[in-house]
Chain A
Amino acid sequence: GAVVSQHPSRVICKSGTSVKIECRSLDFQATTMFWYRQFPKKSLMLMATSNEGSKATYEQGVEKDKFLINHASLTLSTLTVTSAHPEDSSFYICSAILQGSRTEAFFGQGTRLTVV
């Protein structure tokens, strides 16, 4: 199956700093990637849809200036959490869907962000 690599898997940062999370499709091109946030024992909450070469589409309630998404190539999307605060601590996951008839999503390993 297709592989999506997410980096870093864990990051601890101080309040007020910014953190960048990378999501790469290793063996396929992904014109669209998705960024999710997951709280403990909760479902994945879609934050935004990342489109290659254009602006991301954010879900209602997600601050686009807080969570910057860049999808500069067909294999890389990045999520930058700017001016992080402790309430931004969470598990962030990216995914990509293969083109064509298959509709399964391939997920990255996730990034555990802790803001202290």
Chain B
Amino acid sequence: SQKIEQNSEALNIQEGKTATLTCNYTNYSPAYLQWYRQDPGRGPVFLLLIRENEKEKRKERLKVTFDTTLKQSLFHITASQPADSATYLCALPHSGSARQLTFGSGTQLTVLP
């Protein structure tokens, strides 16, 4: 069955630095991959979608890469700010149903002032 791993449960970085989060997956070749942000006690909020034929995608200070050979996506936040502190989840379409999503366990990012 498909498996998603977000390597770091928690990541602390200094304000202004670039945060890099990793999402690895196995037993699957998804057509796309998504990243979400979740704040405590709230539902996830969609950030970016990257398709299998896209190597990189950017949105303001966010950058996502998608390496289908390595089966890995990297999520970067440049010039990080304390307001970026949250849990970030990667998600893949379910192998059995494209309308369902399977989520990684998330990485809790803390940006220190």
Contacts and interface: CB of A to CB of B under 8 A. Distances in A.
Interface residues on B, range: 20 to 34
Interface residues on A, range: 20 to 34
A32 B94 CA distance: 15
A103 B98 contact: yes
B95 to A, nearest CB: 13
Contacts of A113: none
Interface string B2-15: 00000001000000
B46 A105 contact: yes
A108 B43 contact: yes
Given A106-B46, A107-B44, 7 more contacts: A4-B43, A41-B105, A41-B106, A44-B44, A94-B43, A95-B43, A105-B101
10 contacts: A34-B101, A41-B9, A43-B103, A44-B89, A93-B43, A94-B43, A104-B34, A105-B46, A108-B43, A109-B43
